[in-house]
């Protein structure tokens, strides 16, 4: 009897041991990311329709999308300095409060020009990305990073499963104008709530949390970041530079296409906003189910192999989107991109964490991002949140180009994105290998 009880409890004990990292900071980060993902999964997929409803055109959609990461050029170096010198918790909480306040502009916007200003100011969220990335890396051992990142993304995506479908029905009922205003109002409330949770429960992982950061120090950190960028990049392994190149190319594919997935689906494929929301619901469900197995597969196959496989899957999906028709065809293309995401995100984040020394992790991740990119992001966002200031200019240029490409021919953004992914595959095959050691 005792042996039988032990046999039944052993799988539970083994499961608990496997996910022992999901407590403390990792649990708090997962919860706040869950709230943020839920709100973004409602509002972002329909922002392009909101811009068009306020009188914008495809070119304006691309221009406004390009403004989102602009503030990162200024904020990422400052955030990286604070992350390494004054602690993570304060900067994460502050970014939630400030970004949440700016969301009020989306709710009250009378014209598309207001959306442009709001999109620019919303970029203050970039303050927290280096801090979150460094805290995740600090909270997981090298052996846990693939599974840990995948588990956190699974938890963080739970509420997002139904968000696009609920939002799509709301937009269809009230129209893009009033419907999207309601969605951004909900996003404002959840951002402020995440700021409170972070400030109250997240525990600091550095020893310099009481160091004062004044304006002179912030200005100097900006000068040091860009002035010392070449020296910083020379201090990291070549695999980090190659991976950064791949990540930049992936973000550029998102910049070209992300704002126009819903526009093409509604205008060219003939889907309704609610039907598009159903597709996003199903793909989110698939992503959440597959994230943990994908992370485990990354740990087993190796980071480089998983990364290359993900890029090939995404390469196949991009041109297929403009060739298929109907609900089923679009859904299959989006599911192909989900398979790419569940491999690429844990593989690239784990590889970045494996190769960057802890002492400069905040500054490097401020420049290059945390490594993760959600290929095929369909919400009008960048596919981050792990962008860095080295990625900002290529991302902005590609977003502007996406608007003009769509205006020229609605299929062109996806063909150009496929070309960029082909180049990313070449860099991966030629230069990216798993390292024989991993940074703590």
Domains of the chain: 26-198+227-431 (1.20.1250.20)
Q: What is the pLDDT of residues 382-415, one digit of tens each?
A: 666 556 778 888 999 999 999 999 999 999 999 9
Tokens encoding 154: 């699974």
User: How many Cα atoms sit within 13 Å of 78 on the Cβ side?
Assistant: 20
What local confidence, expressed as pLDDT, does residue 20 receive? 58
- On whether the CB atoms of residues 355 and 435 are closer than 8 A, the answer is yes
Averaged pLDDT of the chain: 85
CB 190 within 8 A of CB 40: no
Q: pLDDT-derived band of residue 3, with 50, 70 and 90 as boundaries?
A: low
Give the whole-angstrom CA distance, residue 45 versus residue 378.
Answer: 6
Q: Which of 117-131, 138-152, 183-197, 270-284 has the lowest mean pLDDT?
A: 138-152
The DSSP code sequence of 44-94 is GGGHHHHHHHTT--HHHHHHHHHHTTTTHHHHHHHHHHHHHHT-SHHHHHH
- Residue pLDDT, tens place only, 71-91: 877 776 677 667 766 677 888
- How many other CB atoms are there within 10 angstroms of residue 324's CB atom? 15
What confidence tens digit (pLDDT) does each residue in 137-157 have?
Answer: 777 777 676 777 778 877 887
**Contact (Cβ atoms closer than 8 angstroms) between residue 310 and residue 344:** yes
Tell me which of 5-14, 115-124, 237-246, 334-343 is least confident.
5-14
CB 255 within 8 A of CB 399: yes
The CA distances from residue 18 to 157, 274, 291, in Å, are: 20, 39, 15
Characterise 326 by phi-psi region: left (phi > 0), alpha (psi -120 to 50), beta (else). left
**Bond from prior residue into 400 cis (ω within 30 degrees of 0):** no
Per residue in 248-258, pLDDT tens? Answer: 999 999 999 99
Whole-angstrom distance, CA of residue 154 vs CA of residue 147: 10
pLDDT at 8 over 60: no
Whole-number pLDDT of residue 383: 60
Higher pLDDT, 141 or 169: 169
User: Per-residue pLDDT tens for 293-336?
Assistant: 998 999 888 999 999 999 999 999 999 999 999 999 999 999 99
DSSP 203: P
Backbone angles phi, psi at 110, to 5 degrees: -90, -25
Task: Give helix 326-355 / helix 145-156 axis angle, nearest 10°.
Answer: 140
| The pLDDT value given to residue 150 | 75
């Amino acid at each position: 009897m005792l042996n039988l009880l032990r046999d039944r409890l052993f799988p539970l004990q083994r499961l608990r041991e496997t996910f022992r990292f999901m407590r403390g900071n990792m649990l708090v980060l997962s919860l706040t990311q869950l709230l943020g993902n839920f709100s973004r999964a409602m509002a972002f997929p329909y922002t392009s329709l909101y811009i068009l409803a306020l009188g914008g055109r495809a070119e304006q959609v691309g221009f406004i999308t390009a403004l989102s990461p602009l503030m990162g050029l200024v904020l990422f170096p400052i955030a990286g300095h604070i992350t390494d010198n004054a602690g993570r918790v304060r900067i994460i909480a502050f970014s939630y409060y400030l970004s949440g306040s700016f969301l009020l502009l989306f709710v009250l916007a009378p014209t598309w020009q207001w959306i442009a200003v709001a999109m620019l100011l919303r970029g203050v969220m970039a303050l927290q990305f280096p801090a979150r990335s460094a805290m995740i890396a600090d909270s997981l051992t090298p052996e846990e990073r693939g599974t840990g990142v995948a588990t956190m993304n699974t938890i963080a995506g739970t509420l997002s499963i139904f968000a696009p479908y609920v939002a799509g029905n709301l937009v269809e009922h009230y129209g893009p104008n009033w419907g999207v205003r309601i969605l951004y109002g909900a996003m404002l409330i959840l951002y402020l709530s995440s700021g409170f949770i972070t400030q109250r429960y997240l525990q600091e992982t550095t020893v310099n949390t009481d160091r004062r950061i004044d304006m002179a120090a912030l200005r100097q950190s900006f000068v040091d970041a860009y002035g010392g960028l070449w020296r910083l990049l020379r201090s990291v392994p070549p695999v980090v530079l190659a991976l950064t190149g791949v990540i930049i190319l992936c973000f550029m594919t998102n910049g070209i296409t992300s704002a126009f997935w819903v526009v093409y689906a509604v205008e060219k494929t003939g889907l309704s906003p609610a039907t598009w929301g159903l597709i996003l619901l199903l793909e989110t469900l698939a992503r959440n189910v597959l994230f943990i197995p994908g992370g485990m597969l990354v740990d087993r196959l190796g980071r480089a192999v998983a990364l290359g496989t993900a890029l090939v899957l995404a390469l196949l999906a991009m041109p297929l989107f403009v060739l298929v028709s109907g609900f089923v065809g679009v859904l299959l293309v989006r599911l192909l991109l989900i398979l790419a995401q569940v491999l690429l995100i844990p593989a690239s984040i784990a590889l970045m964490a494996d190769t960057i020394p802890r002492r400069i992790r905040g500054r490097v991740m401020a420049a290059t991002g945390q490594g993760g990119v959600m290929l095929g992001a369909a919400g009008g966002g960048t596919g981050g949140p792990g962008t860095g200031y080295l990625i900002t200019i290529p991302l902005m240029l590609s977003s502007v180009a996406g608007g003009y490409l769509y205006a020229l021919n609605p299929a062109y953004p996806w063909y150009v994105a496929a070309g960029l992914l082909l180049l990313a595959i070449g860099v991966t095959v030629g230069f990216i290998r798993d390292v024989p050691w991993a940074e703590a």
